[in-house]
């Protein structure tokens, strides 16, 4: 919160408004980078990631990833439209692809470019499990966590010099390339713990809005922890996440609200 206030004062002195409030969670963050430019840069890196891996198409698993992604995307659009903020999603061009890879991982780039790895599907177990992961990763994009991290990096590296004109655009692209390096195992930048917690909450709500039972989220995270316990190394998907006990406690605290969304979507309690 202190960093947010300092950044706000700095940007206010430069005549720039950059405090963004998440309409689902209420959390505020500094995001002054250009979303359209970030989405363009991310799309290019996404194409490289797909071309360097084996994209799975036409299978039941691949179709499941696309179907779940589509439902969560549609639920998000409906919610944003209902509160008059559909313009927030103007720069999104969604894709949901399954990549053959044994990693327990999935990610979503700014602009809505999603990759699921086949290695995480056994942990997902079923469509509800896919929805837990999909909701979480899509939430990173919708919440502007990429913009937030890029903005933090630009302030730290360049200060006000990066905030305008052609020079600013060039520097933004440079930061995007640093944070989203081609070939990175995670597909990209790692998020902070506060962002992970926000993605948990927002993802829980989005899966419920899409008609998936949010109560299945806790069992997924228990399976995820069990699956990562025997290999001696925490998978990238969990590397910056809260510990399992705290995560499940937070999910349970958010569950009543999630169940309201689930019921409104036609779910049975």
In this structure, how many other beta carbons lie within 10 angstroms of the beta carbon of residue 256?
9
Q: What 3-state DSSP class applies to 111?
A: coil
Buried b (16+ CB within 10 A) or exposed e, 128-164: bbbbbbbbbbbbbbbbbbbbbbbbbbbbeebeeebbe
- Tell me how far apart the alpha carbons of residues 8 and 201 are, in angstroms, rounded to a whole number: 25
Query: Quick one: tokens of 181?
Result: 């390096």
Phi, psi of 210 (to 5 degrees): -85, 0
Residue in 137, 148, 196, 198 annotated catalytic: 137
Pairing, β 113-117 against β 106-109: antiparallel
- Tell me how far apart the alpha carbons of residues 217 and 203 are, in angstroms, rounded to a whole number: 10
Q: What 3-state DSSP class applies to 230?
A: coil
- Tell me how far apart the alpha carbons of residues 38 and 12 are, in angstroms, rounded to a whole number: 22
Residue 148 annotated among the catalytic residues of the structure: no
Residue in this structure with the two tokens 């349970």, named with its chain if needed: 252
37 and 172 in contact (C-beta within 8 Å)?
yes
Q: Which among 142, 138, 35 is positioned nearest to 91, based on CA atoms?
A: 35
Query: Quick one: tokens of 21?
Result: 């409030």
Q: What 3-state DSSP class applies to 61?
A: helix
161 and 121 in contact (C-beta within 8 Å)?
no
- Tell me how far apart the alpha carbons of residues 208 and 263 are, in angstroms, rounded to a whole number: 8
Which of the residues are catalytic?
137
């Amino acid at each position: 919160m202190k960093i947010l206030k300092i950044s706000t004062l700095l940007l206010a002195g430069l005549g720039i408004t950059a405090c963004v409030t998440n309409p689902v969670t209420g959390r505020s963050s500094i995001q002054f980078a250009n979303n359209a430019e970030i989405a363009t840069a991310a799309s290019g890196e996404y194409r490289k990631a797909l071309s360097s891996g084996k994209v799975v198409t036409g299978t039941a698993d691949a179709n499941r990833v696309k179907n779940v992604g589509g439902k969560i995307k549609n639920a998000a659009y409906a919610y944003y439209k209902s509160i008059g903020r559909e313009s927030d999603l103007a720069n999104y061009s969604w894709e949901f692809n399954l990549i053959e890879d044994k990693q327990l991982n999935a990610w979503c780039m700014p602009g809505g470019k999603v990759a699921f790895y086949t290695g995480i599907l056994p942990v997902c177990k079923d469509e509800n499990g896919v929805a837990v992961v999909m909701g979480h990763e899509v939430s990173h994009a919708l919440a502007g966590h990429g913009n937030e991290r890029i903005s933090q990096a630009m302030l730290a590296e360049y200060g006000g010099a990066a905030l305008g004109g052609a020079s600013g655009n060039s520097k933004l692209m440079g930061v995007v390339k640093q944070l989203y390096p081609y070939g990175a195992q995670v597909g990209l930048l790692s998020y902070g713990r506060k962002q992970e917690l926000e993605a948990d909450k927002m993802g829980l709500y989005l899966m419920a809005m899409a008609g998936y039972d949010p109560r299945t989220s806790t069992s997924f995270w228990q399976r995820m922890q069990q699956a990562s316990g025997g290999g001696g190394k925490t998978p990238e998907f969990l590397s910056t996440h809260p510990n399992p006990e705290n995560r499940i406690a937070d999910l349970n605290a958010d569950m009543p609200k999630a169940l309201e969304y689930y019921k409104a979507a036609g779910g049975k309690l």
